[in-house]
A and B are shown apart, each in its own frame.
Chain A
Amino acid sequence: MQFKKVLKTRRLVSLTPLIDVVFILLIFFMLASNFSQWSTIDVSAPAPSKNVQEKMEGTILVRISEQGRIDVGGKPVNIASISAFVSKALKENPDQKVLVKPHENLPIQKMVDILDLLRDTGITNFSIIR
């Protein structure tokens, strides 16, 4: 007696549900992912000093006007040469702290740009004061 051979055909798993799930995951990650890279600048306010003289002793004062003009220790400085000017002053006395005094109406972006210039020269020890 001969039996007929039953041909086993491999049944493929349907890919459609997999594609659906992957698409949904893709859309979720596209919408929820954030590509911004955040960094931080230490802006801890310095401890209040009893008088102005105590506050200013052994420091380099960088003042920024409302228009973005800079003066270092009372001398007007070009924005391009601020790094060189401050680093020269720091070479003479490396223990000096840099105090940045922006005008209260100065937009934060302009202040951050100047802090970036200061950081370029390796100055990390600065405080923002009123």
Chain B
Amino acid sequence: MNRRIQFSKSSSQDSEENVLPLINIVFLLLIFFLWAGTLSMPDLFYVRPPESINENPDVATESILLISHDNRYAFRNQHVKFNDVASLVRQSIQQYPEQTVKIKVDADINTGKLIDIMEILRDEGVKKTVLVTEQTN
């Protein structure tokens, strides 16, 4: 009587073959996140900018003025009080006279506050001020 002996693959080889589809998916996810996402420094506090359909590209500058809905201010990644904004902007303008200042404000704050800041920046010699918006389709 002929008996056929079946040799099975080693269990470790089996388990490695089983995880190959998983590795493929994980690699694809990794490539997606590398390609589609952008890495940036988180803001000092959460600000939800207004939404806009405008497509003007974002400006690369370190002079970002954050204004939260609960009246917290930050300039160049540093917490500031409203009364100190002017002096900090002045110091910054002395160092980089041609800089553009980006204002990132919460969508809920009043326009009056934005205009106050715009006027402070103008009076301190900022030549270009832009408002950050979140692009929507």
Contact = CB atoms under 8 A, between A and B. Distances in A.
Contacts of B62: none
Nearest to A25: B30
A84 interface: no
B34 A112 contact: no
A41 B37 contact: no
A3 interface: no
Contact of A40 (B33, B36, B105, B132): B132
Contacts of B130: 40-44
Contact of B135 (A14, A39, A104, A129): A39
Nearest to B111: A102
Nearest to A46: B122
Contacts of B30: 22, 25-26, 29
Contact of B110 (A18, A42, A105, A115): A105
A58 interface: no
Interface stretch (B79-87, B89-97, B112-120): B112-120
B118 A12 contact: no
Chain A interface mostly: mixed
A38 B112 contact: no
Nearest to A107: B108
Given A15-B23, A34-B38, A47-B122, A40 B110 contact: no
Contacts of B29: 26
Interface residues of B, number: 53
A112 B51 contact: yes
Interface residues of A, number: 44
Most buried by A among B30, B119, B121, B127: B30
Interface in B2-51: 13, 16, 19, 22-23, 26-27, 29-30, 33-34, 36-40, 49-51
Contacts of A38: 49, 58, 132-135
A33 B40 CA distance: 8
B128 A107 contact: no
Nearest to B104: A38
B103 interface: yes
A109 B22 CA distance: 44
Contacts of A44: 118, 122, 126-130
Interface in A10-25: 12, 14-15, 18-19, 22-23, 25
A18 B127 CA distance: 51
